[in-house]
Structure 1
Amino acid sequence: MQSKQVKGFTLIELLIVIGIIAILATVVILTLNPAELLRQARDSTRASDFSTLKSAISLYAADVSNPAFGTSSRIAGPGGWCYISVTSAQASQASWATSTTSCNGRASSTLILVVASTTEGAKRGVDGTGWIPVNFNTISSGAPLSALPVDPVTPNTGGATAGQTSDDRYYVYLTDGVGGFEVNAVLESLKYASSSENDGGSHNAPPYLLYEVGTDPGLDL
């Protein structure tokens, strides 16, 4: 009987295959850039949240006979209010407790930072006690959202200047007190950078590159 000899891979061939796989894996990682994809996903959430908020506040303005939008952000300062989507504990940890700190990275010597809530649940209230001082429950058809959205990377520790690092991000609500409003946030990804630059707002270039949505003319609150 004649035996059949089976030939296997040589060490050199195995090393070549492993090298090719490593190169392909590196190319895939560099092409997909998982960190950037995560940033894009969070920015997509922010854009969706702001679309929801704009629709909800606009409905409130049109439906309620005597709407209240909060204290104006245009009051000569320090006196204008800047509403932020963090709890008092988070604000304290991030050293945002005074009117001379920042409002999403902007110098705010004329703005008073307002933290209306003490707990995670309370800050998302839609009855006017949440981080946006609008009582959506007074809309005739009922509140169009069950809870106020907050930034996907809400701060939970102290750190650098508010809005400038990945663990110090939040949403901001500003109003003229009579119906004009703006919500803004700091975006993260390269893909959505143009959204901040071309949103029609007044903060469309570094160092205050914000994504701004609202009804205030010029979005310059």
Structure 2
Amino acid sequence: MKRLKRGFTLIELLVVMGIIAIISAVVVVVINPIEILREGRDARRIAEVGTLNRAINLYLVQNSNPDLGVEKTIYISLPDPSLSGNATNNCSTVTGLPKPPPNWSYRCVSRDNLQKIDGKGWLPLDFINLAIQPPISNLPIDPVNTAESGNYYAYVASNQFAVTAALESEKRLKLTAAADGGTDRTRIEMGSDLALWTKASGLVGYWNFDEGSGTTANDSSGNTNTGTLTNMELTDWVDGKQNKALSFDGVNEYVSLGSNASLAPTDITVEAWFKLNTLGVNQVITSQWWWSAWGRLRVTSGNALEWTWVDSLEVAHSLTSSPLSTGVWYHAAITFNKSATTAKLYLDGQEVDFEAAPNIERGLAVLNAYIGVREEATFGEYFNGAIDEVRVYNRALSASEISSLYSATR
């Protein structure tokens, strides 16, 4: 008797196709190819920054009076397309670079010289005539190396030095950038004085609340803007978005940051992580009030994130987000760029509101700044929830920098 060969039924084929689709989706989730590429680029960055760090240390050992470069200059691995030969400039035709801090500038070389190790490359050190040769024959550049992405190598110096690279992958941002001893959670930082990069990044106030006890919150930017805890208890030191945070009761607890001139820059970025315990009332995350101050970053009674400020004509302005929820960590950031006359509000790394703000003035008066309350405690609007990782910069961070900070600390 002839046997009939049985094929798959339509239902069986559909079941098999469904299983294959599920397995494929799981593989993509578990083995994210984009993240693997990012990790590969980050591995190269970490290795190359380490090599540069060793090379510079060799240079220092073999020079009794080393010239490490010009102070308050950010040397970057991007060529300026307008340059040729041995010419250098302040990277004026490189589009997409974030504005440097006040009194700082960039330094670029030509594409011809970019990777030379004779002092004419992007790193201004002459390695050629050293008795002990450094472990490089060409200066490395970032695998992406574009201004728009923020991925390029950077070097700063005085009588010490720091060399850095922005990282991309979640793994390396959390394991490497967070543990290298520097203040920039988006970059690998190496060198003899990482505080140089803190200054080059424009960070002028940083309260991470990792003390875990006591009545003060240290300013990790090095600008001694120590926060004073008011009406707060030991139990208000809680687990945060990153390590520890402060929990505010919405009644009378706040942190006073004082009135140091470093907190009154012309351009500014303020950012923080926060988590709400309650809704339906105005509650302030940070504040520094009146027309030359950064304004008030708060959650409104309508449950939206809001940045409010007064301009030089004493006209009030505000930017707002969509409604928020309790029990969720959110990342908030505000930026103001005076030369571009722009004010921006960010939520979770994304721009949510924007205004052309030609009449904003900053830095004309030094005013008290606060965390968790309006500019004067008598006005209230106490925050009810947790706040962590508060930062103030003396420049307007770019959208990619805000996104990177969010990704690095989420």
C-alpha distance in 2 between matches for 1:16 and 1:183: 55
How many correspondences in the alignment?
A: 188
Root-mean-square deviation (CA, aligned residues, Å) is 1.9
Structure number with higher relative contact order (C-alpha < 8 Å, ≥ 6 residues apart): 1
Query: Is 2:107 the partner of 1:118?
Result: no
C-alpha distance in 2 between matches for 1:150 and 1:61: 22
Q: Provide the secondary structure at the position in 2 that maps to 1:138.
A: coil
Q: By how many angstroms is 1:65 displaced?
A: 3.5
C-alpha distance in 1 between matches for 2:29 and 2:192: 40
Partner in structure 2 of residue 139 of structure 1: 130
C-alpha distance in 1 between matches for 2:189 and 2:125: 19
Runs of at least 4 residues of structure 1 off by over 2 A?
Answer: 64-67, 141-144, 217-221
Give the letter for the 1:172 counterpart. A
Deviations, residues 148-180 of structure 1 (Å, cap 9, x unaligned) = 11111112xxxxxx4xx53x421110001x2x1
Tell me the TM-score normalised to structure 1 length: 0.78
C-alpha distance in 2 between matches for 1:21 and 1:89: 49
Query: Is 2:172 the partner of 1:192?
Result: yes
Residues 64 and 140, structure 1, Cα contact 8 Å, conserved in 2: no
Partner in structure 2 of residue 172 of structure 1: 154
Q: Provide the secondary structure at the position in 2 that maps to 1:55.
A: helix
List gaps (5 residues or longer) in structure 2: 83-90, 200-410
Give the letter for the 2:15 counterpart. I
User: Which stretch has the larger CA shift, 128-137 or 87-96?
Assistant: 87-96
Matches within 5 A, 1:31-42: 31-42=30-41
Partner in structure 1 of residue 58 of structure 2: 59
C-alpha distance in 2 between matches for 1:152 and 1:111: 26
List gaps (5 residues or longer) in structure 1: 73-79, 156-161
Partner in structure 2 of residue 158 of structure 1: none
Q: Provide the secondary structure at the position in 1 that maps to 2:68.
A: coil
C-alpha distance in 2 between matches for 1:13 and 1:203: 55
C-alpha distance in 2 between matches for 1:123 and 1:12: 62
Partner in structure 1 of residue 311 of structure 2: none
C-alpha distance in 1 between matches for 2:51 and 2:6: 65
Partner in structure 2 of residue 109 of structure 1: 102
Q: By how many angstroms is 1:64 displaced?
A: 2.7
Residues 173 and 187, structure 2, Cα contact 8 Å, conserved in 1: no
Q: By how many angstroms is 1:141 displaced?
A: 2.8
Partner in structure 1 of residue 299 of structure 2: none
C-alpha distance in 2 between matches for 1:154 and 1:217: 22
**Alpha carbons of structure 1 residues 217 and 14: separation in structure 2 relative to 1, 3 Å:** closer
Tell me the TM-score normalised to structure 2 length: 0.43
Q: By how many angstroms is 1:4 displaced?
A: 1.6
